[in-house]
Structure 1
């Protein structure tokens, strides 16, 4: 999966009145080419979910984004903790339902084609989504830690990052426990593909 830099997105945005179409035109990849409109749209949704921007709607078609700033570091940490709690709860719930089930019932030799067991598909997708949300939150936290000058904020965010890392490691351990080797390979590939580099979002 391709990635896009959070810093690149924010650098190409003004403090206020940022329209998706304008960002699509100005935000270029390392080769100087535009990203797909769909990628910019999804990235804006993720930036909003991570607390970097806020969507402003004037009408059904007139939508723009403003950058967010937090005057109180505790407010941002509280926001981060809410995201963590929500997704950690989803992971626990999904794992509980998947624990005794066979996730894959048919895997081809090239391991690229698989058929999820019908009763597990919904919970597996929820697990992947929550896992992805936490990996991108961890990526955003690392970026804020690198750019912030607030030592107290950085200290608290490091604790959040450590908790996320522990949750992801435990999730990986539980999901592959007692699985067959071919299941483990596919599962690990699917999860590894959701982890962005620090400061980046998956497209």
Structure 2
């Protein structure tokens, strides 16, 4: 009996360590060990990335390049031609066109800056005839270089770019709604466990 009393006294005399969780640590451990909240936090992060992506897509540069190739051939045959004026017996026309547009929208005010360049090279060949027959070839080459810069500022209906920013504004509201719904679900879960 003496040995058991000594063991009992040793337990009380020797200091022992107790690891107790504070309330905030307990709540954090509840939330971090629940898979549902981990998934919801990932969904919330995805919503935030989508929201930031909407804003970035709206205000990003957009570069468009286009081209066009074409060929037209026409043959004319005239009988009993008595005029001294030349006419085109055969005509061929080639069209080559290149266009490039660079556009930037500004998120803060809804304006749009556009820089464009168009180059076309139409070539027209004609075989000219008169009443005596073949006269000459006529070759026409025209070059067209067109550069333009325009800045569009929204007025009245789209003041401040409000119409163009609808998608972003809806994404912000959706993100805030998801954030509040997650916070309420966490509160209900913690209340249930306490």
The TM-score normalised by the length of structure 2 is 0.28
Give the structure with the higher percent helix.
1
Of structures 1 and 2, the one with the larger relative CO (CA 8 A, separation 6+) is 1
Say which one has the larger Rg.
Answer: 2
Give the structure with the higher percent strand.
2
